[in-house]
Chains A and B, each alone.
Chain A
């Protein structure tokens, strides 16, 4: 699994539970190291060991933690770059949802060896969507759930999200847009991060 994903897990655990708990996790996973490098590749087995160890050491359901991680990735100032890249997807939440179809391709443009499973947005009724998350990355749908929730806050929209089971091999998240411009949202200045 790509170092960026492992590094994201590390950043989330360190920031939420503290660095010593992270070392407990890596000790328990018996990896022989505790720092992931964002730009190196690790085996799927190593990543799986970390996820298993997280559940044991931190004593919380993995699904919940991964969802929190998705929120963390968008909302934490540490990972502001990621929030900005997601905001490039659209000027409002619905446009952002539609841009998710392109997300794996966008990611590959930025980091050529980072491949994410496909995402597909289906509009089932006005303001109602299904996001189909293909498999290939354990916990993908849970992380996406957290990302969708945090991005709704970012745009200032009120949405209801829920896991709505699986279709074939894919996990499905249902998105219901309750109110746009529900809250202030965060600003997005196109040129803020230019060189």
Chain B
């Protein structure tokens, strides 16, 4: 029959976190890895339950009860700091020699390796801890690579959205696309007309019926604008309720006027939404590309804007062509037609009220 010292020697090879207990539950020898966790402490002769606090099963207060746990998984922690969590299993020794308890870190192993500076040599050769540490690192590295990929994809998505030429709500071209097309047409010296279209009473629809109604109206408006123009023309939404139409190869005023008026007429047809009718209209200002080219895009947009402002001022639902001299009177306000409503006439308030009544019906 081997003695306790021989048992301790064997155990230190295959279970380097063992604890040998005598019949009274006092600690005899401990494994080298367990001792490494408290290098300055000598536990010899100390009661096991004074060094370790048993968390589960609870209500174990003495050695007799402890011995009865034979084979059961024990959860415990050190009573002093750091209170590293440990798992264990106890096996009684023959006769009244006491018991052997084998401990391991369980899931707290990640902290333990760092806190106690453990190395491969501190684990038995069959212990899977090193493999587990390997997996944790390998998976973290793989996860990091995936995270980087996700970040880059998200960045690419944002960049793609920024570079997009389409207004996602209406499917029309956006301002960037319009700028491209406009400068291309100017550079190639093509004849064209530029229409600035600003919806009237749209703000009232948004305010009284909500954004969903506003979005539905914008989508309907987009469809009408596409229907009223040819496939060679460009329809772009350049702001909340501002649109630009580039009418390709057409400088004939009467034909442009009829396109604009047909558009206003169509836009004034009430749009049903959620059991109610949304009523809007539009004001339009048109600038013609000068024959022989030599105009810049900003100038032409400004001219169309000035004409639009004149249309707004004339009581809305109107179409005006830009005329030389038009921008002299109102140059301050010409860039922002919405702001430019003639305050003195009192029409501004009246129109909004009017719009609210109209949309309410």
Chain A residues proximal to chain B, CB less than 8 Å = 4, 37-40, 81-82, 84-85, 88, 90-91, 106, 109-111, 189-191, 193-195
Contact = CB atoms under 8 A, between A and B. Distances in A.
Interface string B116-158: 0111110000000011011111111110011011001000000
A37 B114 contact: no
B145 A85 contact: no
Given A37-B152, A109-B135, A88 B113 contact: no
B110 interface: yes
Interface residues of B, number: 26
Contacts of B137: 81, 84-85, 88, 193
Contacts of B111: 194
Contacts of A4: 145
Nearest to A4: B145
Contacts of A82: 141
A190 B135 CA distance: 12
A85 B134 contact: yes
Contacts of B152: 37
Contact of A81 (B114, B117, B131, B141): B141
A88 B140 contact: no
Nearest to B146: A39
Contacts of A194: 110-111, 113-114, 133, 136
A139 B111 CA distance: 40
A190 B137 CA distance: 10
B134 A88 contact: yes
A98 B141 CA distance: 24
A107 B38 CA distance: 36
Given A38-B149, A85-B141, A190-B133, 11 more contacts: A37-B152, A82-B141, A85-B137, A88-B130, A106-B138, A111-B138, A111-B142, A191-B118, A191-B133, A194-B111, A194-B136
Nearest to B145: A38
11 contacts: A37-B149, A37-B152, A38-B145, A38-B148, A39-B149, A85-B134, A85-B138, A106-B134, A110-B141, A111-B142, A190-B113
Contacts of A195: 110, 136, 140
Tell me which of B118, B119, B145 has the highest count of chain A C-beta atoms within 10 A of its own C-beta: B145
A85 B130 CA distance: 11
A88 B133 contact: yes
Interface in B146-200: 146, 148-149, 152
B115 to A, nearest CB: 8
Contacts of B140: 193, 195
Nearest to A192: B114
Contact of A91 (B121, B135, B146, B149): B121
B110 A39 contact: no
Contacts of A90: 120
B120 A190 contact: yes
Contacts of B110: 191, 194-195
Contacts of A91: 119-121
A81 B144 CA distance: 11
Tell me which of A40, A84, A90, A194 has the highest count of chain B C-beta atoms within 10 A of its own C-beta: A194
A111 to B, nearest CB: 5
Nearest to B137: A193
A95 B142 CA distance: 25
A106 B135 CA distance: 8
A111 B114 CA distance: 25
Contacts of B148: 38
Nearest to A7: B145
Contacts of B114: 191, 194
A82 B138 CA distance: 8
Contacts of B145: 4, 38-39
A194 B132 CA distance: 12
A35 B145 CA distance: 14
A39 B150 CA distance: 10
A191 B130 CA distance: 10
Contact of B119 (A39, A111, A190): A190
Nearest to A86: B134
